[in-house]
Amino acid sequence: EAGVTQFPSHSVIEKGQTVTLRCDPISGHDNLYWYRRVMGKEIKFLLHFVKESKQDESGMPNNRFLAERTGGTYSTLKVQPAELEDSGVYFCASSVTANTGELFFGEGSRLTVL
| Positions that interact with other proteins (CB under 8 A) | 3-4, 31, 33, 35, 37, 40-45, 48, 55-56, 91, 93, 98-108
CB of 50 to other proteins, least distance (A): 8
Considering the complex, state which of residue 17 and residue 37 has its C-beta at the smaller distance from other proteins.
Answer: 37
| CA-wise closest residue to 86 among 94, 95, 98, 78 | 78
CB of 68 to other proteins, least distance (A): 19
Q: What distance lies between CA 103 and its chain's CA centroid? A: 13
Rounded Cα distance between 61 and 110, Å, is: 17
Considering the complex, state which of residue 14 and residue 42 has its C-beta at the smaller distance from other proteins.
Answer: 42
Tell me the C-alpha to C-alpha distance, in Å, between residue 84 and each of 18, 29, 37, 80, 112.
Answer: 12, 33, 14, 12, 8
CB of 5 to other proteins, least distance (A): 9
